[in-house]
Structures are given as C-alpha cells and as structure tokens.
Structure 1
Amino acid sequence: MKVAVTGAGGRTGSIVMKLLASDASGAFAPPRGLVRSTKSGDKVRNLCDGGDANLCDVVEGDISSADALRTLCDGVDALVILTSAVPKPKIGSMIAALVSKILPWAENKRPDFYFPEGGSPREVDYEWQVAQIDAAKRAGVKKVVLVSSMGVTQIDNFLNTMGGGGDVGDANILLWKRKAEMALVASGLDYSIVHPGGLLNKEGGKRELLVGVNDELLAGDRRSVPRADVARCVVACLTSPSAKNLSFDLASREEGEGGGATTDVDALLEAASGMTYDYSLPMNSPVPLP
C-alpha cells in the first residue's frame, strides 16, 4: 500500500511517516509526505531513512496548492490527513495572564490567541481539508484517514473560542473540523476518523488506550493521549477491516493504570467498530453544518 501523508513535517505526522517507512510486515510501500519547507523535508527524510532515499518520498508544497495535492496523491492508495490550524498566543496577553497568576489580588486572566493570515480554521480545517479529500478522490485513492479532535460535538468547547471570540470564520476550530469530517463521510471514500484527546509528547505503547464516541470520554478524567499512540492507530486504520467507515474518540490512561499497555491496536479498532458516531451533533452550530 502506497500512503500519502499531509502534515508530514508535524510532530504527529513525522511519527506516522517513520512508522510507515520502518514497517517490517511488507504491507506498506515507502510513504510520501507533504511538507511546507525544505527544512521540514530534510527532517522527515532523516527521520524515515537516515540517508537512504529509497525509504520515503517528500513533496514540498502547501495544502492550498492544487498542484501540490495532485502530485501528492498521484499513484497512492491511501491518504492520511494530519493538517490543522494552529492558534498563536498574543504576547501582551501572555504577560498579563502570567502577572495575574503571580499577584494574589489580581483576577486570573487567560491569554488571547489569533490565527495568522491564511491560517484560519475555516481555511485550514475545512476548505483545504475538503481540497485534500477531493484531490484524493480524483486520483483514485481508496482510503482516507483523517485525524480530527475530541470536542467536535461541543459548541462551547474552549478551543472554539480561541482566536476570534467565537465569531464564525475566525475561531470555532472544532466546528470547522466537524464540517470537514462530514464532507469525508459524504465523499463515498472508505474513511477512518480519529478524534484524539490532548496530545502528549510521550513514548507510545506504554499506556492502556481508550476508545469512545460523541465525546463521551471527555466526561471522565482521562482526556489525553500520546502522539505516538495516535500515530500507531492511524497506521492500523490503513489496513484493519474493522476501521472501514469508522469514526471514534481516542484517549489513554496514565502509564501503569488499568489493564496495562495496549499492544494490539487492531483489537482496539475491532472493539471500536461497534460504536456509531452521531453526525447530527452538534445541534444549532454557528458554523453551518450539513
């Protein structure tokens, strides 16, 4: 299977690229990754092949470029979408928030965020994710794995207010992600949609993984998961029969808790296959949903 990965230079995307490049089962051809810069491309190549140019393929470009997406998807069997808008903190508000925590009489303040020009959730998490889905369909790609986020059923989730005070088009990052998910479901392509909790830069394969639907896991006290474990699930979704047209939430226990580390990700996906995500949620969204 030839797999293309967008967001390949990111922290999670680079792990996915490495797992695909180092897979010893023979299931995967050398992966192809889309990166935004030569520097990111060099990092991915070094991570995947350590100088062996036969173990990965890098396309330099942007997800807003139809030409880059056409090149990326040409001749591949599956596409992994790992792109996301990234809010940037306003420096002044960071200082004010820090001061409010130091001074005992001051009212606690949260920092303000913004999205850089051309990097809004409407563009990155919806319009350009749909462009990726469309490019994959035109190229004859059979499988798409989309990494979204937990919280997509919650209009009042904090992440929806970051960057624009809740104004449609400026913020609502989770709702724009939800709209892209719906576009993938409607595309007719075989899909897997992974909703991880808060991403941890921890070693994978050390924790018990938890699956759920409709943000039910957010009601508990385990709402995060290592990036490396998300990457493991993404790779498993590419070949597991249980991952066909599957949409699920993913979190983890603390290391040493529960029944021990999840080593069989295929079995985890099989357990999730009986779950049904409700795409009528959320109701009354300020972002127009299908």
Structure 2
Amino acid sequence: PARLAQAVLVALALAAAAAGAAAAARVRPEAAISSDHDVVLVSGATGRTGRLAYEALRARPGAPALATRALVRNVTKAREVLGCGACTPAEGIFVGDVTGELPDEAFAGADALIIATSSVPHQLPDGSWAYYEGAYPVDIDFKGTINQVAAASRHCDRVVLISSMGTTQPDSFLDLLGGGHVLMYKLAAEAHLMAVASANSLSYTIIKPSGLTDVAAGAAALVVGHEDDFGAHKCGEGAGGCMSVARSDVAAVAVAAAAEYACGASFVRFDLTSDRTGEAPKDFEKLFDAARVYASATGALA
C-alpha cells in the first residue's frame, strides 16, 4: 500500500507539473535580462549549497550588500557561517522556520527567491538513518517549499528551486533513507511551484542536481538532461560517469537563474550533472537554452 500510495502521488505530481508548465509558457514575460542589482533572498543560506549561493550573490560586481538577503533558522549558525554581525534585517539576515510562519519582510521588495532548504538525515549508532522530528522531507522539502512559494508569490517575480535528480525512481535507496521518501516530496514540491507559478505570473527555474560534491566550481563541464536521462551525452572515459556535480557549480547556476540570466532561465526544469573531461561553461545562457531545447526535443516536462 505504501508503494502504491507513493506511485499515485508521483503520478499526480507529474500531471500537475505538466499543467503548470503549459500554462506558464502561455504567460511567459518577455522582459530584459535582469540587472546584477536585483534583490535576491536565499533560504537555507547556512546550508552547504545555500551558503555558496549567498556568497556568490554578495560577490556580484557593484551590487550593494543589501541586494543579497538570507533566510536562516538559527542566528548563531548564521554568525558562524555567513559572517554577519548582529545578523538582523539591517544586514539582510532574516530569521524564520520554513515549516511555520515566515517573516513577510524577508520577501517584501525581493525580486527573486532561491530555495536551498533541504531535509538532512543523520546516521544512528546501528548504521541506519533517521530524520529529526519535525524535519522530515514532508516537513522541509514539501510543506516548507509550499510556505516559501506562498510568500514569494506575494512579493517576488521568480523562484529558483534546488531540488534533486532521482525523482523518477520511487522506492530507491535515497528515497527510502530514514523512511522519509525525500524524492517523492521533492517532486511534489516541484509540481506545487509550477502550478502556483502558472496561476500567479510567477516565473520559476527548477534545478535537479545529481550527487553533490564539495569540489571547487569550474572544474568540469555542466550537462543538462530531463527525468534522470542525459540523452546522447556520454561522459568521457575515466570520468567516473555523470553522477556528481559540485555544490559550488549548482549554486552558480542558481544565482545565474535568479539574477544575470533570469529571463532565459524562466519556466525551465532540468537535471544537472558534470563531466570532468569537459570544459567548464563560460555562458550560462547557453546552458539554460540547452535545457529548454532538450526538453522540447524529448517531450519532457520543461
């Protein structure tokens, strides 16, 4: 019964996503590429990927410090990870729990939201995995995303969601880890974002990375695909396959989608991995174009 329920929810999520993508395409704005001074809010900014996105935004040439905002759950951790002083809204730091009520002022005046929040399992002494109470995938990845999208739909022009590959594989090892069904809930969150976007003239970019690593950015070519498939692309010999991508590269793509290439990255959903035998991208616009063209050619959800 549990497996059947999961399969049904996945099917419903895909159907909702398809409807959202079609409607969103009809209202896609033809605006100019956004300036580097757009105000971007990063949720999960003290996490390993969120921190990198926050730092990349802060490093934008000529962008004022307050053009980058962070939504964090813990001020002490924010001080350690982000280097803020008092870590108050005066510094662009807002405290809130995505599973509960969010501070509206964090979203007010922001052009874009990067959702980098994610549930994180921990290993028990017996080697098994578990999630802390209230921090299961259903809490963080699903309900937490719903809450953030609701707030963003009132204030922001666009949302960039960092999700995950593997959502076509119900009951995979990662999905079953800790009994959380994380990939099922991430897929449902994607579908929710696409549906809300279509009803609110909100643009979205959904980035679905493969296994995340902590290596430096710009050390490999970035490869896009859809529905856990990279089509004709074959990784070079000795590359170890296209099964991992640097967190720093994912953060860079998210920042590009939220700011520099916001128009070109609108209404696209794609898998992202790397090929260590290739060259790092010099133009993210081509990356987003490749994701869109590949989706059109395969009939995948874009």
Query: What TM-score do the two structures reach when normalised by structure 2?
Result: 0.76
Q: CA RMSD in A?
A: 2.6
| 2:210 match | 197
CA distance in 1, matches of 2:255, 2:144: 22
| 1:266 match | 285
- Return closer, same or farther for 1:163/1:53 CA change in 2, 3 Å cut-off: closer
Q: Find the residue that maps to 1:39 and give its secondary structure.
A: helix
2:272 aligned to which of 242, 250, 267: 250
Name structure 1 gaps, 5 residues minimum: 95-111, 165-170, 281-290
1:172 aligned to which of 174, 178, 181: 181
- Return closer, same or farther for 1:32/1:87 CA change in 2, 3 Å cut-off: same
| 2:58 match | 21
- Return closer, same or farther for 1:250/1:27 CA change in 2, 3 Å cut-off: farther
Q: Find the residue that maps to 2:271 and give its secondary structure.
A: strand
CA distance in 1, matches of 2:204, 2:249: 19
Task: List aligned pairs for 1:13-162, cutoff 5 A.
Answer: 13-24=50-61, 26=63, 30-46=67-83, 57-68=92-103, 70-92=104-126, 94=127, 112-138=128-154, 140-162=155-177
- Post-superposition shift, 1:159? 0.9
In structure 2, give the amino acid aligned to 1:226: A
Q: Is the 8 A contact 1:41 1:60 kept in 2?
A: no
In structure 1, give the amino acid aligned to 2:140: V
Name structure 2 gaps, 5 residues minimum: 1-37, 235-240
- Post-superposition shift, 1:135? 1.0
Q: Find the residue that maps to 1:76 and give its secondary structure.
A: coil
In structure 2, give the amino acid aligned to 1:243: A
In structure 1, give the amino acid aligned to 2:208: H
CA distance in 1, matches of 2:301, 2:288: 19
In structure 2, give the amino acid aligned to 1:85: S
Q: Is the 8 A contact 1:3 1:29 kept in 2?
A: no
CA distance in 2, matches of 1:52, 1:137: 25
- With CA pairs under 8 Å and 6+ residues apart, which has the higher RCO, 1 or 2? 2
In structure 2, give the amino acid aligned to 1:8: A
In structure 2, give the amino acid aligned to 1:135: A
- Post-superposition shift, 1:120? 1.0
In structure 2, give the amino acid aligned to 1:230: V
In structure 2, give the amino acid aligned to 1:59: F
CA distance in 2, matches of 1:6, 1:26: 19
In structure 2, give the amino acid aligned to 1:75: G
Aligned residue pairs, count: 249
Q: Is the 8 A contact 2:88 2:94 kept in 1?
A: no
Q: Find the residue that maps to 1:273 and give its secondary structure.
A: helix
Query: What TM-score do the two structures reach when normalised by structure 1?
Result: 0.79
Q: Is the 8 A contact 1:36 1:62 kept in 2?
A: yes
- Post-superposition shift, 1:249? 0.6
Of the structure 1 ranges 241-250 and 261-270, higher mean CA displacement relative to structure 2 is found in 261-270
Q: Which protein has the bigger helix share?
A: 2
Q: Any idea what the Cα deviations from partners look like across 1:25-54, whole Å, max 9, x if unmatched? A: 6499521101121222213442xx799999
Seq. identity, %: 34
In structure 1, give the amino acid aligned to 2:243: R
In structure 2, give the amino acid aligned to 1:63: V
